[in-house]
Amino acid sequence: MASALPAVATRGHGPAEIIEAGSTGFLLERDDWDGFVAAVLPYVDDPQLRKSHGEAGRQRVIDRYAAGREAAELADLIRPFIIGNAAERGP
């Protein structure tokens, strides 16, 4: 998705949280080969669909997973532990 290409993946914890079915790509059940073909063929046949889903996917990656945002969220997550440990040690 970061490469501005639509995604076709199986449902699971990772892909289902990232891919917006019908907007940035398609989600399938495991071993659904007919579904895979049905999901990929529209991208082969329609370059505009491929482009719009790819661009939407790239924007989703930028909005949700940019390095600065990830770092800020990680800092927010660990800050209470760092502050808590510092308070326990004293001045």
In this structure, which amino acid lies at residue 24? Answer: T
pLDDT in tens, 12-71: 888 988 999 999 999 999 999 999 999 999 999 999 999 999 999 999 988 888 777 777
**Residue written as token pair 């510092």:** 86
Give the span between the Cα atoms of 22 and 63, in whole angstroms.
Answer: 18
pLDDT of amino acid 86:
52
- Please state, in angstroms and as integers, the Cα–Cα distance from residue 19 to each residue in 25, 39, 49, 69, following that order: 6, 13, 15, 19
Tokens of 48: 């505009």
Name the pTM for this structure.
0.70
Q: What is the pLDDT of residue 88?
A: 56
In the chain, the amino acid numbered 28 is L
CB 56, CB 5: distance < 8 Å: no
Biggest CA-to-CA distance, the chain: 67
**Coil vs helix vs strand at 21:** strand
